[in-house]
Chains A and B, each alone.
Chain A
Amino acid sequence: MIPFTELRARVLVAKLGLDGHDRGVKVVARLLRDAGFEVIYTGLRQTPEMVVAAARDEDVDVVGLSMLSGAHLALAPPVVAGLRAEGLDIPVVVGGIVPDRDLPALEAAGVAEVIGPGATADEVVAAVERALATRT
Chain B
Amino acid sequence: MDAAADRGAEWTTMSGVPVEAVYGPEHPGPGDLPGQYPFTRGPHASMYRSKLWTMRMFAGFGTPVDTNERFRDLLAQGGSGLSVAFDLPTLMGRDSDDPMCRGEVGRCGVAVDTVADMEDLFRGIDLGAVTTSMTINSPAAVLLAMFVAAAEGAGTPRERLGGTLQNDILKEYQAQKEFLFPPRPSMRLVADTVRFAAAEMPRWHPVSVSGYHIREAGSTAAQELAFTLGNGFAYVEQGVAAGLDVDEVAPRLSFFFNAHLDFFEEIAKYRAARRMWARWLRHRYGAAATRSLQLRFHTQTAGVSLTAQQPELNIVRTAVEALAGVLGGTQSLHTNSMDETLALPTEKAARIALRTQQVLALETRVANVADPLGGSWYVEALTDELEARAEELLAEVDAMGGGSMLEGAIRGVEEGWFQAAIADSAYDLERRLNDGRFPVVGVTCHTEGNEEEPPEILYIDPAAEELQCKRLASVREQRDGTVVRAALDRLTAEAADPEVNLMPALLAAAGARATVGECCGALGSVFGWWDEAPAL
Contact = CB atoms under 8 A, between A and B. Distances in A.
Contacts of A27: 218, 426-427, 430
B534 interface: yes
Given A71-B102, A74-B103, A97 B343 contact: yes
A8 interface: no
Interface in B167-194: 172, 176-179
A87 interface: no
Interface stretch (B52-60, B452-460, B519-527): B452-460
B459 A101 contact: yes
B444 interface: yes
Interface residues of A, number: 36
Interface string A29-55: 111010000010111100100000000
Interface string A68-102: 01111111000000000000000000000101110
B536 A33 contact: yes
A99 B89 CA distance: 21
Contact of A118 (B94, B341, B423, B535): B341
Interface residues of B, number: 46
Contacts of B108: 19, 69-70
Nearest to B213: A21
Contact of B104 (A18, A30, A97, A101): A18
Contacts, number: 108
Interface in B382-439: 423, 426-427, 430, 434-435
Main secondary structure of the interface of B (DSSP, over half): loop
Contacts of A29: 536
Contacts of A23: 216-218, 304, 423, 426
A1 interface: yes
Contact of B177 (A20, A39, A47, A118): A20
7 contacts: A18-B94, A21-B216, A39-B536, A44-B532, A70-B103, A71-B88, A118-B308
Interface of A: 1, 17-23, 26-27, 29-31, 33, 39, 41-44, 47, 69-75, 97, 99-101, 116-118, 120-121
Nearest 7 CB-CB pairings of A with B: A74-B103, A20-B177, A43-B534, A71-B103, A70-B107, A117-B308, A18-B88
